[in-house]
A and B are shown apart, each in its own frame.
Chain A
Amino acid sequence: MQPVPLFRARLASAPANGHVAFIPQIRKLVFEYCNDWPSSANTRTFLQRELIPFARDNPHVEIVVKQRNRKEPVVRGYYVNGRDKVIALNKLEVTGIQKKLQLLLDASGLKIKPLKRRTVESTTEAARGIWSGLHAERPQL
């Protein structure tokens, strides 16, 4: 009896984040702000008042604050798949900044694509099997 060959590619598993264990896809948030310009005023208020409770509520995210003078305020979210999302904060109020941060936390790093038709994405084979005309019963009229 020949032993069944073990193909190395078959040993890899398809990713299914959330099936048994869920890993949050956001890993780092970098806040860039200017110390002087008024476009960063709301961002500065947020960083002074709300950032530490926000960081405490989300311990899985690494949070970095960078001062970038004479530049517009920005938040960059880095994700586990290597992509990043950049959101400008210069026209937002503090509550608007909180909403954008919630958007970054909720997202995975996937590229935005049309989702209306993409309802079920499955790698499992069909449980009922695939119909084959050569193997089905011939219909009787």
Chain B
Amino acid sequence: MLAATSSTIRCSLRRFIHSGSASPPSTSAALELIRSQPSRYIVATLGGRKHILTPRDLLTVPRIRDVKVGDVVALSAIHELGSREYTLRGNPTIPASTGVSVHATVVEHTKGAMEFILKKKRRKGYQKLIQHKQPFTRLRIGDIEFSSELDSTTVHSQA
């Protein structure tokens, strides 16, 4: 999740409702199309799994040990940024040079409910009851930020 890997980006946008497909010339044109729609989502890897995330939602992953409550972390593995009709997909992730960035705030470190696991081998007199509480970290996803450079200047805007 936190490792940086070189990745390329495929600007493949498809309009699902209308016929034909849009192939914008550049990433910034693709981001403009996505920004034109009312809401958007990302697909990001966190805790070894992919999740579909929108701003303001609460993500629960297995405990991340090197963050504290209140820390703001940047999601480094964003696979997809999409809106209702357009999707921008990376190969495998959208590189940071495109300007797409999402941050998450660590809200708490908790444990789940107690699980009782019974281990038994029959006719051998072996049985034991394991009590286990899985530790979790909960993160609040922030706004999806991306800039589409219309000129040489970068216009940073919140989504």
The answer to whether A18 touches B112, judged by C-beta atoms less than 8 angstroms apart, is no
Number of residues in A with C-beta < 8 Å to the partner?
31
In the docked arrangement, what's the CA distance between A91 and B41, Å? Answer: 48
The answer to whether A127 touches B110, judged by C-beta atoms less than 8 angstroms apart, is no
Task: Determine chain B's interface SS by DSSP, over half rule.
Answer: strand
Choose one: B49, B83, B114; the contact of A127 (CB below 8 Å): B83
Asked if A119 is at the interface of the complex by the 8 Å CB criterion, the answer is: yes
Q: With a 10 A CB-CB cut-off, give which of B56, B82, B111, B142 has the most chain A CB atoms.
A: B56
In the docked arrangement, what's the CA distance between A125 and B40, Å? Answer: 10
In the docked arrangement, what's the CA distance between A123 and B55, Å? Answer: 9
Chain B nearest CB: distance from A86 CB in Å?
Answer: 16
Chain B nearest CB: distance from A136 CB in Å?
Answer: 9
Number of residues in B with C-beta < 8 Å to the partner?
39
The answer to whether A119 touches B107, judged by C-beta atoms less than 8 angstroms apart, is no
Asked if B29 is at the interface of the complex by the 8 Å CB criterion, the answer is: no
Given contacts A120-B52, A129-B84, whether A17 and B110 have CB atoms under 8 Å apart is no
Task: Determine chain A's interface SS by DSSP, over half rule.
Answer: loop
Chain A nearest CB: distance from B12 CB in Å?
Answer: 16
Segment of A33-41, A68-76, A107-115 in the binding face = A107-115
The answer to whether B51 touches A128, judged by C-beta atoms less than 8 angstroms apart, is no
Q: With a 10 A CB-CB cut-off, give which of A108, A112, A122 has the most chain B CB atoms.
A: A122
List the A side residues contacting B37 at CB < 8 Å. Answer: 127
Asked if A118 is at the interface of the complex by the 8 Å CB criterion, the answer is: yes
Given contacts A22-B107, A115-B134, A127-B40, whether A120 and B57 have CB atoms under 8 Å apart is yes
Given contacts A19-B142, A114-B113, whether A106 and B56 have CB atoms under 8 Å apart is no
- A123-141 near B? 1/0 per residue, CB < 8 Å: 1111111000000000000
Choose one: B54, B106, B109, B114; the contact of A122 (CB below 8 Å): B54
Query: Which 5 A-B pairs give the minimum distances between C-beta atoms?
Result: A18-B140, A122-B57, A18-B105, A106-B109, A127-B41
Contacts A/B (CB < 8 Å), 21 sampled: A16-B58, A16-B140, A18-B105, A18-B106, A19-B105, A19-B140, A22-B105, A24-B70, A25-B108, A105-B69, A106-B108, A107-B108, A110-B110, A113-B113, A115-B60, A115-B136, A119-B51, A122-B54, A122-B56, A127-B37, A127-B39
